[in-house]
Structure formats: structure tokens, C-alpha cells
Amino acid sequence: MAKEKTVYVCTNCGQDSPKWVGKCPSCGAWNTYVEEVVRKEPVNKRPVSGLEPVKSKPVTLNDITGGDEPRIDMQDEELNRVLGGGLVPGSLVLLGGEPGIGKSTLVLQTVLHLPDRKVLYISGEESARQLKLRADRIPHNSSDCLIVCETSLEQIYIHIKNTQPDLVIIDSIQTISTETIDSSPGSLVQVRECSASILKFAKETNTPVILIGHINKEGSIAGPKVLEHIVDTVLQFEGDQHYMYRILRSIKNRFGSTAELGIYEMRQNGLRQVSNPSELLLSQDHDGMSGVAIASAIEGVRPFLIETQALVSSAVYGNPQRSATGFDLRRMNMLLAVLEKRVGFKLAQKDVFLNIAGGLKVNDPAIDLSVISAILSSNMDTEVERDTCMAGEVGLSGEIRPVNRIEQRIGEAEKLGFKRILIPKHNLQGMDTSKLKIEIIPVRKVEEAFRALFG
């Protein structure tokens, strides 16, 4: 007879405790412990003292053969770049994102374009008919893709043994459960044990596995943080459902860089790769419009130009409003304070609204200069010339601080036909500007930038 054991597990970090506690001693979160029932199998084997033979033995570092891992081409340039050059055999990849963002669509359209690979797609959420309806919307050639609807981990291993696939997709890990644990699917213990078992299978058979995971209301992948520690690569698929752009980020990657970024455009027939996002993110008809400034930003390692929009109006009520979409509101308040203190513009009684066009969320500090330029442009009702872009971080004393990868930013602006670019003066050191066709305007303080823009 199996013994039942009850443990309390923190939903935030996965720390377990034999009794309920109010504050997690590991992560410090309050009221995050939930009860989980774990079934322990009886152990008849007594621990043996002394040494026992083991299956593996230690080897020296010189005896281990090195070399690059052969990678599987996923027939998708954006996905290949984010993965670090392709999918590594035997790797476990976790793809997370909000409901309806397009995780299953991305994975399904990718495997449907792998003609030489036998793919086993295990669906625990959707029926085979639903997957067929989605696949019919995606243009593809005939693919050796096998579909099975299953939620039992033991049955999944039987299907894998019978089909011998080259790639396994599990959609999603929160629906899979194992019979060895007496707990409901999606619980912390089930997610952790199933993921660890799948990792062992992937490493022993050298079969790559892609897991699709849910995210919670805080925006992180549901389940304990240990789930992200188990897998080799964690990819985050994000974007606003009301916009057509989707961004694929690498949060963790044991086989490549986490600075890469993939951009997709959602269409009725699936996701389209966006090789040049700058052209899509810039609206072409803002002639004569105030409150618009173009920033040369870098997300990951990719430079692209984005449109910063601002609206400044007199406050109707006593307390002026501050609102920012796609930009940190606290940083915008800091920039407004710099404008008022260092430059002398009175914005305390004005409503200020800021928007990054295209539904993007940008964390690059180099767009500070375009943010304050768009705010000032709207306040003065004077347009910024459409062939001018800028890059620079604004400090608290009103200075324009240097930014990284300035050559890539300038090159992207030049490629898209911009005539002038404002950059921090310190970035000019050691730069050869003789071959550039774009005019470089170095600025040291906010006042200099405003004089260059507005005269």
C-alpha cells in the first residue's frame, strides 16, 4: 500500500514545506503556499553501506571530444536566430506566452515546413480536428507530422516508442500528468516531475523536445521557477493581441545568446517573418504633425527605428495625468522633471500621454532623446523634420549620455533614407564618419538637441 504524503508548495518559487507557512522563506512572497498530495512508493531496498558499481564513470576533460553541436534547421530564419542557429538535438525548449498570442500557430507552422523530419505533435488541449482546421489555414507542403491527443505521460512514451520521431512537440506541459503522482494536471508537482522525466528522455535518446507553457497573471511562465531551470532554452512569445506584431525573445539559452530577437507579423494564414521591422514600425504620413519623433533603438542585437508619439495638453482637472504605453512611466516622469528643471519648460499643469507606435515595449535607454523631443514638439506644436532621427540617453543633469552600438543605429537610419541623426557627442570618439551619407549631429546637452531640432 502506497503511503500518501501532503506537502505545501510555493506557487512562486516551488519551495516546499511540510506545513503551511504565511511567508515563503525562499522568495519572501506572502500567502503563496498551496497543498499538494504526493504519493510515495514503498521502498523495499535498504541503503547499502560502502561502494556500489555505477553505470557511468568520471573522465578527464581532455578525453571529452568537443566540437560544435549539429543543429536542426527549422526553416524559419527568425526562430533559428533566437535559438542560436537552429535546434540542438537532445535539447528541451520551453515556449511561453499569453493565451491566444500564437504559440501553437508558431510551432505548428514550423513543423509543417520540416519535410525531412518525422514530427510527433502531442496535443493535450486541442482535438485533432481543431489542429486540422488550423493547419488548413497555413500554406504548407505535405509534411510527415503525426498528431496524437494525449495527456498521460506514460501513454506519450508508448507513442514515442512506436513512432520513433525526430522531434517531439508537447502542447502544453500544464496538461500532462503522470500516474506516479496523485495530483491533478497542471499542479506544481506534476509540472515539475513531468518536465524532469521529459528532460531525461531527451538527453538519453538525443531527441529534441519543444514544450509549450502557459503564463500566469504576472506574465511569468506558470509553475515553479524550477521549470525554467530544468529546460535548456526558454523562449517568450509576446505582443499585444490588438496589434499584428509578435516578438520572440530568448530568456535563457544554453546553446546560444539571449540577446537575439525574432519579430513576426500575425496574419490570417499564420505568422509571417519580419526581416526589416523598421519599415513596418514607421508610419509614412506624419508630415506636418507635431509630437512625433523617430528613435534608433536596439532590441536584443537588432537595430530598428521606432516612432515615438506624444500628446501634451492643458490639464482639465486639478491633477494632471501621466500615461505611457510601451515605455516605463517612472522613466517618463523622470524625463519630464529634467525638462522642467534643466531646460525650463513648465509641464507641471499639463497632461502628458506617450505612445510607442506598433504596440512595442521598449526598454532601450537610447530612446530617451526621442521621448523628450516628441513631448516638446507636442507642447510647442512644432513638428520634428521627418528625415531626422535620434539616439541618446538623457541624464538627470540634462546631459546626453553615450549609447552602445552606435554604428548599427546609424547604419539602420542611413539604410532607410534618413538625412540627419542626433547622437551623443561622446559617441563620436574614434568613429570614421567620412564614408557615411547621413549627417551626424553630435549633441552634449538637451538644450543643444532642441536647438538642432527646433532652431
Q: Is 104 annotated as a binding residue?
A: yes
Contact 72, 206 (CB under 8 A): no
Q: Is 103 annotated as a binding residue?
A: yes
Give me the pLDDT at residue 285, please.
65
Across 274-384, where does the E strand assignment appear?
Answer: 292-299, 302-314, 322-325, 350-356
The CATH number corresponding to 279-454 among 3.30.230.10, 1.10.3720.10, 1.10.10.10, 1.10.1040.10 equals 3.30.230.10
Question: What average pLDDT does range 402-421 have in this prediction?
Answer: 90
Query: Which string of DSSP letters, residue by residue, matches 311-327?
Result: EEEE-SSSS--EEEESS
% of the chain at pLDDT higher than 90: 42
| Angle made by CA atoms 403, 278, 376, in degrees to the nearest 5 | 60
pLDDT band at 48 (very low <50, low <70, confident <90, very high): very low
Q: Is 102 annotated as a binding residue?
A: yes
% of the chain at pLDDT higher than 70: 90
Backbone angles phi, psi at 16, to 5 degrees: -110, 160
CATH for the stretch 70-275: 3.40.50.300
Contact 294, 422 (CB under 8 A): no
C-alpha cell at 87: 535546434
For residues 388 and 24, give the distance between their C-alpha atoms in angstroms, rounded to a whole number: 52
Does 122 score more than 60 pLDDT?
yes
Give me the pLDDT at residue 148, please.
94
HSE (side-chain half, CA atoms, 13 Å) at 442: 10
Contact 105, 140 (CB under 8 A): no
Q: Is 101 annotated as a binding residue?
A: yes
Of residues 224 and 188, more confidently modeled = 188
Give me the pLDDT at residue 31, please.
83
C-alpha cell at 404: 552602445
Of residues 344 and 359, more confidently modeled = 344
For residues 395 and 282, give the distance between their C-alpha atoms in angstroms, rounded to a whole number: 27
Contact 310, 295 (CB under 8 A): no
Contact 446, 334 (CB under 8 A): no
Q: Is 98 annotated as a binding residue?
A: yes
Does 278 score more than 50 pLDDT?
yes
Q: Is 161 annotated as a binding residue?
A: no
| Angle made by CA atoms 259, 262, 265, in degrees to the nearest 5 | 155
State the pTM of this model. Answer: 0.75
Amino acid letter for position 384:
V
Give me the pLDDT at residue 286, please.
67
Question: What average pLDDT does range 159-184 have in this prediction?
Answer: 90
Does 413 score more than 70 pLDDT?
yes
Does 43 score more than 60 pLDDT?
no
Give me the pLDDT at residue 154, please.
93
For residues 21 and 6, give the distance between their C-alpha atoms in angstroms, rounded to a whole number: 14
Contact 191, 38 (CB under 8 A): no
Give me the pLDDT at residue 219, please.
61
pLDDT in tens, 423-449: 999 998 888 888 888 999 999 999 999
C-alpha cell at 428: 563620436
Backbone angles phi, psi at 126, to 5 degrees: -110, 155
Give me the pLDDT at residue 47, please.
46
Start-to-end CA distance of the chain, whole Å, equals 85
pLDDT in tens, 63-98: 887 766 788 999 899 999 899 889 999 999 999 888
Query: Which string of DSSP letters, residue by residue, matches 390-435?
Result: E--EEPTTSBEE--S-HHHHHHHHHHTT-SEEEEEGGGGTT---TT
Tell me, rounded to whole angstroms, the distance of Cα 417 from its chain centroid. Answer: 30
Q: Which of 32-41, 46-55, 215-224, 352-361 has the lowest mean pLDDT?
A: 46-55
Amino acid letter for position 164:
Q
Does 155 score more than 50 pLDDT?
yes
**Count of other CB atoms within 10 angstroms of residue 166:** 16
DSSP H helices, 164-222, are 188-205
Query: Which string of DSSP letters, residue by residue, matches 27-78?
Result: T--BS-EEEEEEEEPP--SPPPPS----S-----GGGS---PPP-B--S-HH
